[in-house]
Structure 1
Amino acid sequence: MTAFARNEQHHTWGQLCWEIRSVNHRYLDISIRLPEEFRRLEVDVQTQVQRQLKRGKIYCNLYLQYSGDANQLTVNQTLVKNLLQAHAHIETLANVTQTPQLLDILRWPNVLENHIDTEQIAIDVMQSLQVTLDALSAHRQREGQQLIQFVEQRCVQITQEIAQIRNLLPEMVQQQREKWQLRLAEITALNPERLEQEMLILAQKSDVSEELDRLTAHIQEIRQTLKTQDAIGRRLDFLAQELHREANTLGAKSGHLTLTKSAIELKVHIEQIREQIQNLE
């Protein structure tokens, strides 16, 4: 589900800031951006996020700003001397003379060193990450409660729609029966017994009682699932798909305008449920 959390901390070495944003996604997909000097923490960050979140596209961004003391650089004189000696040795072997370029030496890894305590910063970073994840989870939980209320309301509306269909079903069946009788009488002269058999076959093919029963059962299962404390997103996904399948069958069997309209209303409510449960873990 959509949520955002930010945690900023100040330390003797400088300040850090975590920004974590989550958007709807069927599975858990984590994107992590760290300063180059702390890329080694990426696996630890991912593991910590996975322990707390189960679903969504998660964007984790870490920003660091070092204090003046931490930004001071010193030259690794031993390494520079070794580089110059290696340069001179290569000149002798190659029988060429070339002045070493200062910028090339400065770009060499570890020639310039700072006074940053990376181990302490790593500890601070991971502690701040947990604080940010807790804030994000709290935000998602608040939104989740609102979504559960929304889904519950749609379940009530679907239940009411099913009840209306059940109440009108005898009337619709009778009207459909009369319509079939006229059509069959026009097509062929059937004896009363054969006509009754054909009517029974058509009635069985258009009977929607089973679809209504399954819709009711799925709605009851959804409402029961909403009461649990476990991760419910994927189970609700499945149940919403089953609801949609039954509503499609109901619409396909419909030979009555009222039933067709009800099937459309059911699909609208079900689609709204499907959209919202993408936000639930």
Structure 2
Amino acid sequence: MVKSMTGFGRAGKQSENFKVTVELKAVNHRYLETVFRMARVFAYLEAKLKKSIAEQVKRGRIECAVTIEGNKATKEKLVINWDLADEYIRFMRQATQRYQMEDALNIQELLLDPRFLEIVEGNEPDLELEELLIGATTAAAKRLDEMRAAEGNELALHFKYHLDTTVKLLTEIEAFVPEMEATYRARLENRLLSYVGEDFDKALVLSEIAVMLEKSDINEELERMGSHVKQFSHILMLAEPVGRKLDFLIQEMNREINTIGSKASHLEITNRVVELKTTLEKMREQIQNVE
């Protein structure tokens, strides 16, 4: 089944404590790559979210934007530098005794000084939030996959149209092969007659003509092209990512067409070869967007 590598999917989940939204944007890429845009405090969830996406998407670059709202969305915790605080308290007590000062300890100073105390975002796992995020990501990935499948159906129709054009042009080329061979044989015979006249070994000349005709024979290339077209149609029906297979096959098809173009010395065949190259290039460009 043909699927596009571009698409968009969005989904949200909500509970009493959280509201999460996940947006997935997919573009072309050689492999599967997922990048996240969300608060670093939730980075511990990336592996599980990647797994949810990978169940639906096998190839492409996925940008995952995560929005989390709620009173418990960011947990805060107190971080205290006890060692430094102990040193501070010890020094103040010693200074008070040494210089016979009134009690100089001031807890407020410790609370205001970030060297002793600071409030940071916590990163303890929250099972409720994790469940919501995975659910929203799975739903977004399914919608992304649906969009990619719909675009893939359009691509498949384009491929079938171009394959029909390819078959038509190959059939026309095949019809011109006998005429090309006859023209080539007559040209060689006339050239020999102009050089040596009627006094030549006809058996030897016919042997040489046969060798030259064999070098210009394109029937094998036409047969392989026909086989490639059937294989292309078969791959389009596979229930798996087919982009790489199609990319390899279109290269083989281009190679066969180039060989036909270099062998054939016939204007009508040359014209069809140019049309075939144009058709295959259109297919190659579209294949770059197939998963």
TM-score where L is the length of structure 2: 0.81
Q: Is the 8 A contact 1:9 1:16 kept in 2?
A: yes
Distance 2:202 2:115 in 1: 104
Shift of 1:186: 4.7
- Residues 247-269 of structure 1 show CA distances to partners (whole Å, capped at 9, x for unaligned) of 11111112112111111111111
Matching residue of 1:244:
254
Distance 1:73 1:204 in 2: 80
- Residues 120-163 of structure 1 show CA distances to partners (whole Å, capped at 9, x for unaligned) of 11211111000000100111111111111110111111000011
Distance 2:64 2:75 in 1: 29
* The one of 21, 25, 30 aligned to 2:34: 30
- Residues 182-214 of structure 1 show CA distances to partners (whole Å, capped at 9, x for unaligned) of 334456675322221221111111110000000
Q: Is the 8 A contact 1:34 1:42 kept in 2?
A: no
Q: Which amino acid aligns with 1:51?
A: E
Give secondary structure in 2 for the equivalent of 1:52: coil
Matching residue of 1:2:
6
Distance 1:150 1:106 in 2: 67
Q: Which amino acid aligns with 1:221?
A: Q
Q: Which amino acid aligns with 1:240?
A: I
- Give the 3 Å change call, closer, same or farther, for CA 194–260 of structure 1 in structure 2: same
Q: Which amino acid aligns with 1:146?
A: E
Q: Which moved more, 1:182-191 or 1:256-265?
A: 182-191
Matching residue of 2:218:
208
- Give the 3 Å change call, closer, same or farther, for CA 91–215 of structure 1 in structure 2: farther
How many residues align structurally?
Answer: 270
Matching residue of 1:257:
267
Shift of 1:233: 2.0
Q: Is the 8 A contact 2:53 2:141 kept in 1?
A: yes
Q: Is the 8 A contact 1:10 1:16 kept in 2?
A: yes
* The one of 207, 210, 234 aligned to 1:197: 207
Q: Which amino acid aligns with 2:164?
A: V
Distance 1:73 1:237 in 2: 49
Tell me which structure has the larger Cα radius of gyration. 2
Matching residue of 2:85:
85
- Give the 3 Å change call, closer, same or farther, for CA 86–274 of structure 1 in structure 2: farther
* The one of 204, 215, 223 aligned to 2:233: 223
Give secondary structure in 1 for the equivalent of 2:238: coil
Consecutive unaligned residues of structure 2, counting only runs of 5 or more, are 96-108
Distance 2:50 2:174 in 1: 51
Shift of 1:221: 1.0
* The one of 17, 26, 40 aligned to 1:13: 17
Matched-pair identity in %: 27
Q: Is the 8 A contact 2:41 2:121 kept in 1?
A: no
- The answer as to 2:162 corresponding to 1:154 is yes
Distance 1:255 1:195 in 2: 20
Q: Which amino acid aligns with 1:164?
A: E
Q: Which amino acid aligns with 2:202?
A: P
Q: Which amino acid aligns with 2:72?
A: A
- Give the 3 Å change call, closer, same or farther, for CA 142–75 of structure 1 in structure 2: closer
- Give the 3 Å change call, closer, same or farther, for CA 103–246 of structure 1 in structure 2: farther
Q: Is the 8 A contact 2:75 2:122 kept in 1?
A: yes
Shift of 1:71: 6.9
Shift of 1:230: 2.6
Q: Which amino acid aligns with 1:274?
A: R
Q: Is the 8 A contact 1:70 1:114 kept in 2?
A: no
Q: Which amino acid aligns with 2:263?
A: K
Shift of 1:7: 1.5
TM-score where L is the length of structure 1: 0.84
Matching residue of 1:178:
186
Distance 2:274 2:135 in 1: 51
* The one of 62, 66, 73 aligned to 1:62: 66
- Give the 3 Å change call, closer, same or farther, for CA 197–115 of structure 1 in structure 2: closer
Q: Which has the higher helix share?
A: 1
Q: Is the 8 A contact 1:70 1:115 kept in 2?
A: no
